[in-house]
């Protein structure tokens, strides 16, 4: 259960989990359901559009409101979120009655909150797994009655334990990536130019166009821009006719995305959870040029605290981006320091494959059901 129909990390993680389940011996019938579309139909498009416009037009207000409502709470204060209950609880009950699922996996906080409320009131006993898609846990996520938690870091693991969650119910998986995004491979050496990916323009949000306009390629870096479904961005790049800036339209194949990562010496991106998780898996140097208000701001703070990414400064000025990237790529000391931080981060994650974790969790849930 993700939320909204926007092509977000919630959906990418859900798709990846479904692919992992398909790889197991047992057969699974999986279905993604967005509770907003299920409840209010076409109104979802209006909400999605308003959400994106809000972020663009009033970023500071959105950031303030998100922090106030979803992150910052007074000690021992539990927000009631009465509006969420009023709008969606009745429909969640209907959904469960209609689908009769054996397991529910939440990749967004809202359905997790609703299902947790229902379990606490004994409205249903269906096992629920939280799969967190950012590098923090906002206050909306349900915890008390959730059966398992797939968390992105040891910090979230510790936070859940403090909330009273049994450590055996928590798996430090990192943010799950699609199984076709394989671990990093050796990159091609002795190439005439460095290869740098640019992503973050899929939804038209952020400032990727400004970034590209100010690149001022010197000939030392070949840039590949992942435009996603942002047709305007793709057309803009095609019209530049710059041989050092290559535009890629939407790529549906995860294997193709994985290959592009393998060819890259670095990536310039926004701190969206899934993209960052893929880059951490591939051990690619990450350069953050912009963070959308709310979730991405908090993700960025996590990355900087852990030393897992670089902040691009003065990226609106011509030529500054390339200077900063080359400074890192041409420094063995900086590259080794980054690899040290990456090794430390990966050492904090479980060494067990997600397929194996899912197999064990499902077997345990099945045994509990029989018992």
Distance CA 350, CA 58 (A): 39
**pLDDT average, residue stretch 204-217:** 81
pLDDT score, position 94: 92
pLDDT score, position 371: 62
Picking from 309, 322, 321, the residue whose alpha carbon sits closest to that of residue 276 is 309
Distance CA 365, CA 371 (A): 10
CB 336 within 8 Å of CB 324? no
Give the ranges where the chain is alpha helix by DSSP (H).
9-22, 35-40, 43-57, 59-66, 82-84, 90-99, 109-120, 154-162, 208-213, 231-240, 254-263, 273-282, 295-306, 320-329, 332-348, 354-370
Distance CA 103, CA 362 (A): 9
Domains 9-174 and 194-348 equal at CATH topology level: yes
Question: Which of 121-125, 262-266, 298-302 has the lowest average pLDDT?
Answer: 121-125
Distance CA 141, CA 182 (A): 29
CB 81 within 8 Å of CB 140? yes
**pLDDT beyond 80 at 185:** no
The two structure tokens encoding residue 61: 């207000």
pLDDT score, position 82: 80
Distance CA 246, CA 222 (A): 8
CB 201 within 8 Å of CB 298? no
Query: Which band of pLDDT confidence, cut at 50, 70 and 90, is reported for residue 26?
Result: confident
The CATH code belonging to domain 194-348 is: 3.40.50.2000
pLDDT in tens, 251-271: 889 999 999 999 999 999 989
Mean of all residue pLDDT scores within the chain: 86
pTM, full prediction: 0.88
More confident residue, 250 or 55: 250
More confident residue, 76 or 325: 325
Query: Which band of pLDDT confidence, cut at 50, 70 and 90, is reported for residue 76?
Result: very low
Question: Which of 59-63, 88-92, 93-97, 334-338 has the lowest average pLDDT?
Answer: 59-63
CB 179 within 8 Å of CB 253? no
Q: Which residues contact 131 (CB under 8 A, 6 or more apart)?
A: 13, 14, 17, 105, 106, 107, 150, 173, 176
The two structure tokens encoding residue 10: 């919630």
Q: Which residues contact 330 (CB under 8 A, 6 or more apart)?
A: none
**pLDDT average, residue stretch 106-122:** 93
Q: What's 9-174's CATH class?
A: alpha beta
Question: Which of 24-28, 103-107, 360-364 has the lowest average pLDDT?
Answer: 24-28
β-pairing, 221-226 with 245-248? parallel
Domain ranges of the chain: 9-174, 194-348
């Amino acid at each position: 259960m993700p939320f909204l129909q926007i092509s977000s990390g919630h959906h990418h993680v859900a798709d990846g989990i479904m692919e992992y389940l398909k790889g197991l011996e047992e057969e699974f019938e999986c279905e993604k359901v967005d509770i907003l579309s299920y409840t209010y139909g076409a109104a979802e498009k209006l909400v999605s559009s308003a959400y994106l416009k809000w972020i663009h037009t009033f970023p500071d207000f959105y950031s303030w409101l998100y922090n106030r409502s979803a992150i910052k709470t007074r000690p021992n204060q539990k927000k009631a979120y009465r509006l969420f209950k009023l709008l969606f609880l009745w429909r969640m009950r209907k959904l469960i009655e209609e689908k009769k699922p054996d397991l529910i996996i939440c990749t967004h906080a809202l359905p997790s909150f609703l299902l947790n409320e229902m379990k606490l009131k004994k409205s249903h006993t269906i096992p629920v797994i939280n799969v967190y898609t950012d590098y923090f846990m906002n206050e909306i996520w349900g915890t008390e009655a959730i059966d398992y938690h797939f968390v992105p870091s040891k910090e979230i693991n510790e936070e859940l334990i403090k909330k009273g969650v049994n450590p055996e119910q928590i798996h430090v998986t990192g943010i799950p990536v699609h199984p076709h995004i394989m671990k990093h491979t050796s990159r091609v050496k002795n190439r005439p130019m460095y290869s740098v990916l640019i992503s973050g323009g899929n939804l038209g949000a952020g400032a990727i166009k400004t970034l590209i306009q100010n690149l001022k390629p010197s000939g030392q870096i070949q840039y590949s821009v992942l435009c996603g479904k942002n047709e305007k961005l793709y057309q803009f790049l095609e019209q530049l006719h710059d041989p050092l800036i290559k535009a890629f339209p939407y790529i549906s194949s995860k294997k193709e995305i994985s290959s592009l990562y393998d060819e890259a010496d670095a990536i310039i991106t926004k701190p969206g959870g899934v993209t960052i998780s893929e880059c951490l898996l591939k051990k690619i140097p990450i350069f953050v040029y912009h963070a959308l208000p709310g979730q991405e701001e908090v993700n960025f703070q996590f990355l900087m605290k852990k030393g897992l990414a670089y902040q691009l400064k003065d990226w609106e000025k011509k030529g500054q981006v390339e200077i900063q990237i080359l400074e890192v790529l041409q420094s063995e000391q900086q590259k080794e320091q980054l690899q040290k931080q990456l090794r430390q981060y990966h050492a904090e994650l479980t060494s067990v494959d997600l397929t194996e974790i899912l197999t064990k969790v499902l077997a345990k849930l099945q045994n509990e059901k029989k018992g």
